[in-house]
Structure 1
């Protein structure tokens, strides 16, 4: 549910936010501003990682994750209440950006906590499979937001831009309450409770992380460039295909939904396989293949065929889903329990800054007739950097969490 809230902005920035909140900038300027608004959340995510990482390593994973959920749900619901630019002028985009920053603050503490909570509850030889389900949450949230928008965009254009776009954001309120009930029923992990009893957690986990684990942080930052794949498909490629006017937006959203289903099927399989053969090779292999796929993917996208777009999105979802699923356990196993939440959170969120602004960068690269080739090169370069970074680390899939703690003692 948290990622349903967060990724609503991905679809909305490609289809809605420009004309509703940035109408005064014209079509191109409004689209760039909308993509930029999508990206500003990623600036706040490292701050969220610092704040919620500190809380998660000091007071517990579960309590902290309740805080992130409430903050995200409240900010998303409030977006649905903002008047348009035509109604209140410049105050509209200012409010939109402020709420997007709060979303980013929340998301910055979510993934590191979810991953830590999951692998600390998981059986030793199935951590890859269990941790892949945190990515099922992000993928299903993205899929759900696209599905909701699919029905909304079928409405008349003036109705869509007038009030209907608000519905997916307002629906987040009851969904958040359900998610909150589930999250509060989860027990704290034994690994964290033992660390707390032994008073091993540092007073300022961030200092400990950068002093003793900076190599792991850097590795996670670079590996997290895999997230460029997600924002490129769900934001840039969606907007690119929609602007060609060759295929209705509803059909493009159907293609995204199908690719999301493919990813949901593939990710647990990748996670389970990583428990058998290790994390690094799967992560690096799928990222390398993703880098290669960007070029035929963009070439097919220009054809304007719905079948081609479905194939593009589905293949990318299945392949990039390998790194996405395996990264959840691989990152988390790089840090000891006492600073795990902070280490994973700060590393991923620093890397995600590039992913957040990737659609804006790609839109700028494609302007002035340069086309899709510079965009494909940029996306491929990010994938290759992530692959190389994964191979630079040690394999941790066979280690117990206590062994990881002892290595970093």
Structure 2
């Protein structure tokens, strides 16, 4: 295996796949899928409470929208089991294509859905169904992309190789929020009014969902050019495939399954607090226990997030280099400790009495920087916890069960906490999640030198 290409050991006569194609396939696919996922997250705050739920209490509508947002995280472990089964039985390539199609079709259909005023309760039901399908697709996507990167990596550079699919998260987030920002500016939409008859609310919000079909077509083209990873091909050649990967991973790898799940919890909780929840808090959709609302305009807030997400993107490759040099476990222990400190500073960072746009940007940059540092090594450490024949299933289930414990409930819980107890306790909630991750990290061995061909 050269530095510039990866050869399929099961088909040595086949032309080696350029490493650049592997990088593009792992990063472009996750960028598309995270774009699809995040345009829903943005619309969950701005559009769906107005158009897809009965009119009444604004907070109740927002919580209902967050509930459908969280539904995808319930679906993600199911997707990881479904796609993981075929990923460990059939191969990484075919499963990556299937997960991308599942996600892309569901996202496109959301752009076509009728609203509550048109079809009543069928509207939120269809929205929830499509959100569930989004979760299924993303549940299978991440593991396949991570394995595509790690199982073709050069020796000693696995965390660096594994960080490429992780870059899909900030890239997808940047383009999702950037698209909404351009639409709002182009259509002169004032988010504070949320007039359901405004062009943005009638058709403008649908454009990102429908346009995702173009990006899915590009992603499919790239992925269909791939061959199977050499690590999986070797397992097949050696007759090491298992008939029931889920049963096998529960039987033989239940300890890393539990550890991997909690290793991801702080990362998920952090991200969805500093993205989805903080939009509702910063734009005044949530009142704290003192009755004070923030009043940052939605357009201004999106601009702040677009600046902050650049720090997320910049820190992902930094984390890959550092995790290769110092080890995944040691590096993540330090970053998790920093997340705990960050959470305990919420009362000062987000105090509504002294909040300014500059202070909010400082908060977002801190959160996104920590997010890049903790998220980058995850596509290395989670696959490294599991043997080849159950790696797709094991890493996927751990990653996506963590999404329920960390991401699915984070916006909902944080909205409730800030309304009843104040913003400082939202930070305590994050710190508690980070403590759970710290315990999980301390319970596992360093995986930097693990041989991925081990079964």
**TM-score relative to the length of structure 1:** 0.96
- In the TM superposition, residue 387 of structure 1 has moved relative to its aligned partner by 2.1
Aligned-partner Cα distance in 1 for 2:340–2:133: 32
The alpha carbon displacement at 1:25 in A equals 4.1
**Structure with higher helix content:** 1
Q: Deviations over 1:18-43 (max 9, x none)?
A: 11111424201000001111000111
* 2:248 is the alignment partner of 1:199: no
Q: CA deviation at 1:150?
A: 1.1
1:278 corresponding residue in structure 2: 327
Alignment partner, residue 394 of structure 2: 343
- Report if aligned partners of 2:345, 2:427 keep a CA contact under 8 Å in 1: no
The yes-or-no answer on 1:188 pairing with 2:255 is no
Give the alignment partner of residue 388 of structure 1, picking from 425, 439, 452.
Answer: 439
Distance 1:150 1:378, change over 3 A: same
Give the conservation status (yes or no) of the 8 Å contact 1:57–1:342: yes
- Does the alignment pair 1:72 with 2:113? no
Contact 2:108 2:210 survives alignment (8 Å): yes
Partner of 2:10: none
What stretches of structure 1 move > 6 A for 4+ residues in a row?
none
Deviates more, 1:212-221 or 1:154-163: 154-163
Instruction: Report whether the alignment pairs 1:171 with 2:211.
Output: yes
Of the structure 1 ranges 298-307 and 122-131, higher mean CA displacement relative to structure 2 is found in: 298-307
Quote how far apart the aligned CAs of 1:294 are. 2.2
Distance in 2, Cα, partners of 1:309 & 1:182: 39
In the alignment, which residue of structure 1 is the partner of 2:275? Answer: 234
Q: Distance in 2 between matches of 1:161 and 1:23?
A: 16
Asked if structure 1 preserves the Cα contact closer than 8 Å seen for 2:314 and 2:372, the reply is no
* 1:193-342 alignment, distance < 5 Å: 193-225=233-265, 226-243=267-284, 244=293, 246-297=295-346, 299-301=348-350, 302=352, 303-342=354-393
5+ residue gaps, structure 2, are 1-31, 191-197, 285-292
Quote the residue 2:12 is aligned against.
none
Whether the aligned pair in 1 keeps the contact of 2:281 and 2:294 (CA below 8 Å) is no
Q: Distance in 2 between matches of 1:17 and 1:304?
A: 27
The RMSD of aligned alpha carbons is 1.4
User: What stretches of structure 1 of length at least 5 have no aligned partner?
Assistant: none
Give the distance between the partners of 1:61 and 1:75, measured in 2 at CA: 22
Q: Which moved more, 1:339-348 or 1:245-254?
A: 245-254
For residue 139 of structure 1, give the secondary structure of its aligned residue in structure 2: helix
Q: May I ask how many residue pairs the two structures share in their alignment?
A: 403
Q: Does 1:156 align with 2:189?
A: yes
How many angstroms does 1:267 deviate by? 0.8
**Quick check: 1:246–1:304 contact (8 Å CA) kept in 2?**
no
Q: Is the CA contact 1:124–1:400 (under 8 Å) kept in the aligned structure 2?
A: no
TM-score by length of 2: 0.86
